[in-house]
Structure 1
Amino acid sequence: MRGEPDLGGTEAARSKGHGFNLAARLAARERRGLRRDLTPAERVAARSRVAPDPKGGVPEFTDETRLVFAANDYLGLAADERVQSAAAEASREIGTGAGASRLVTGDTRVHRALERDIAETKDTARALVFSSGYATNLGVLSALAPDVVFSDELNHASIIDGCRLADAETRVYDHCDPDDLRAKFDRRAHEATGDESWLVVTDSVFSMDGDVAPLEELCDLAEEYGAWVMVDEAHATGLYEAGGGLVQREGLADRVHVQMGTLSKALASQGGYVAGSDVLIEHLLNAARSFVFSTGLTPPAAAAAREALRIARDGDRPARLWANVERLRDGLEELGYEVWGESQILPVVVGDRDTAMALAERLRERNVVAPGIRPPTVPEGTSRVRVAPMASHTAEEIDRCLAAFREAGRALELL
């Protein structure tokens, strides 16, 4: 039986002085209430059985089927037969994996078809797909290599890490605050000694607060100061105008230089994309290291995303999602909960971290899965339960979720 290497947890290893005491790091997380565990789910759908973390063992699922209000599969397409069929067909005809970088032999007709459809949806000249949304932001930001990045303070971790990898000077502006962005622009303009490339980067829908960026005002400011704008549509792609995101809803495709998004949320697959001008895409496929040196997106994932995008553009899934969002938000507020945001993400804010985690646990006891979110993911005093309805939830299931919130809230004396 293969043994485990000594990772610095023993006295002998520590005495050598060059190991990693990972056990101590985990213990510190435990003391701070930040230890995470995996929660295996039986299927990706609005309803699923779940299992406690088996560590290295085999998951053992409970008998109860729980309502899942924790996924980013907003349109409920991961379990859609049309999407599954598209993935299976690509697997049979092209292969289960791309086999190489897109620049070698991993560039297939299904990749090109998906990119054409994304470009049409995003109203751009071209698009390029990456192996993940995280890899997309890392690759785009490092390849653009701006002199200065102006970044919203609540941007996703992949944007923060992309700024670090780009080695750009990063000026963080107050969340969704164009006035503070202008102040940051003015300050930098007085400091600059020569021509600089400036990039404003923001999420369009923020994943923890559920609010949306003031995109038109950001574009106005960027144009006034000669900066570029990059918008991360990870939590918006597929949900708005004809399968587009907030950039499309606001009619800003010709003013946003870089449109980025993921294929792993509403499009029920895996991967990320960037859409923009022909010269932008040509530059990225030459200079974005997370594209150049990574195996291409798998053909089944590309085909699944393409079919999901078609359904989002032509079907009624977005309308069904927004009907469920309205029903659930209204019901939660009628119960007396404080619900933030203006998107499909519904943060039920309770404030105290222990209370938020207790509420999530009481919901789970009532067969509703919705995660408790606490610092450092969110600021102190704003701990919450993040609720994400899907288009595939029925009205009866929305009502069951509301009943669980009512019972759990009363048990914890929140209502």
Structure 2
Amino acid sequence: MADRGFDLEGRLAALEEHDLKRALSPVDRVAERGYFAEPSGGDLPVLDSAEALVFASNNYLGLTDDQRVQDAARQAAATVGTGAGASRLVTGDTLVHRDLERQLAETKGTERALAFSSGYAANVGTIAALEPDVVFSDELNHASIIDGCRLADAETVVYDHCDAADLQARLEERVERATREGREPADESWLIVTDSVFSMDGTVAPLSAICDAAEEYGAWVMVDEAHATGLYADGGGVVQAEGLEDRVQIQLGTLSKALASQGGYVAGSSALIECLLNDARSFVFSTGLAPPAAAAASEALHVARHGDARERLWENVAHLRDGLESMGFEVWGDSQILPVVVGDRRDAIALADGVRERDVVAPAIRPPTVPEGTSRIRVVPIATHDRDDIIACLEAFQAAGEEVGLL
């Protein structure tokens, strides 16, 4: 009988051959430092390994270890429960969810917000529920945006990364194409989708210019603030920093990065939120966000808005960027994400290994996550790193870079 299964061993061997195989390496705590197990998925060798500094986390404000955030999660678990127990539309809607959504809407300058079980679910559910005829998508948008376009069965037009002029040209081409085909382009619904901060390049989308193009052609704009929420003006994202709340129809983000929790959100008009809670399948058919996660995110957002964590983060970013560039490393981006571009994947792996040997965790990012020839180390400080931590990171990169022959 023919074997109609799957050659899993062959797939794994191919990954190994091309230096693409990844493995889990559990850590004892999520913070600016911790003890890591060997990448085998085994028990944590807490007593057998040295403590390492973490410069690869999305825990940008260091709030996973904040007592106020942890206390909020504990209180929600004790008073509301450890899980929502059902879809929000059944019995899983709680006051903890409503408090989080009220604060998100206030921070994002919108009428309402809606919490999802993940940022991935927020993107996929929103795009699919809107059912746009055409989506204009930045070429480096997150996989959840790409999958949302596929589920919506939308025609997707990809424009050059962070290039508002190319977006403008694609919009114009769409109008000209409709005219040639004897159609009225006004009959189509158009959605422009972009991340605000791109997680692998550290670049920031030119949102004002994107809004200009959208308004000229009557399109809506959807911005994923996953790597920006909590870090900019009053705890908002790039949309808030640039004062674009009235020009961006849909704002999304996650609760799992700067907000130190789990889940995602969408913020916009009351009509948008009502449509999503009825039509977004990833919301309707998912158990509601766990109350402790909602409470932790709500408290983290409060701390981000009213504390000094944002200022400490940006000070660390400036110090680290200056140090890496002064050594001769090429550092991309305009945000808290500092990709140290190496080029060759094997050199990137060697640099990451050398840094790790010096008790600094900053893994190599290589194809297929990034294009061939652009392998890099994604370096990310967090607010709770002190000055000595930043210096230790820089010294590790200096020594490892010299050892690998990159400096």
TM-score over 0.5 for the pair: yes
User: Can you list the C-alpha shifts for 1:234-275, whole angstroms capped at 9, x where unaligned?
Assistant: 000000000000000000000000000000000000000000
User: Can you list the C-alpha shifts for 1:342-400, whole angstroms capped at 9, x where unaligned?
Assistant: 10000001111100010000000000000101111111111110001000000010000
What TM-score, normalized by structure 2, do the two folds share?
0.97
User: Can you list the C-alpha shifts for 1:194-227, whole angstroms capped at 9, x where unaligned?
Assistant: 3100000000000011010000000000000000
What TM-score, normalized by structure 1, do the two folds share?
0.95
Match of 1:141 among 124, 127, 142: 127
Shift of 1:74: 0.1
Q: Does 1:176 align with 2:168?
A: no
Cα separation, 1, equivalents of 2:4 and 2:330: 49
The equivalent of 1:88 in structure 2 is: 74
Cα separation, 2, equivalents of 1:212 and 1:42: 33
Cα separation, 1, equivalents of 2:83 and 2:287: 9
Q: Does 1:375 align with 2:367?
A: yes
Cα separation, 2, equivalents of 1:276 and 1:313: 20
Q: Does 1:58 align with 2:43?
A: yes
Cα separation, 1, equivalents of 2:62 and 2:176: 49
Moved over 2 A (4+): 57-63
The equivalent of 1:19 in structure 2 is: 5
Cα separation, 2, equivalents of 1:172 and 1:343: 23
CA contact (8 A) 1:53 1:59 kept: no
The equivalent of 1:129 in structure 2 is: 115
The equivalent of 2:263 in structure 1 is: 271
Shift of 1:63: 2.4
Q: Does 1:395 align with 2:380?
A: no
Alignment of 1:275-314 (within 5 A): 275-314=267-306
Q: Given residue 131 of structure 1, which amino acid in structure 2 is its aligned partner?
A: S
Shift of 1:29: 1.4
Alignment of 1:309-328 (within 5 A): 309-328=301-320
The equivalent of 1:3 in structure 2 is: none
Alignment of 1:9-408 (within 5 A): 15-55=1-41, 57-61=42-46, 62-192=48-178, 193-194=183-184, 195-408=187-400
Shift of 1:54: 3.3
Q: Given residue 196 of structure 2, which amino acid in structure 1 is its aligned partner?
A: S
Query: Match of 1:261, SS?
Result: strand
Query: Match of 2:63, SS?
Result: coil
Cα separation, 2, equivalents of 1:292 and 1:353: 42
Unaligned runs of at least 5 residues, structure 2: none
Query: Match of 2:64, SS?
Result: coil
Q: Does 1:414 align with 2:406?
A: yes
Q: Given residue 63 of structure 1, which amino acid in structure 2 is its aligned partner?
A: S
Shift of 1:16: 2.2
Cα separation, 2, equivalents of 1:409 and 1:17: 48
Matched length: 400
Cα separation, 2, equivalents of 1:35 and 1:133: 25
RMSD between superposed Cα atoms in Å: 0.9
Shift of 1:137: 0.4
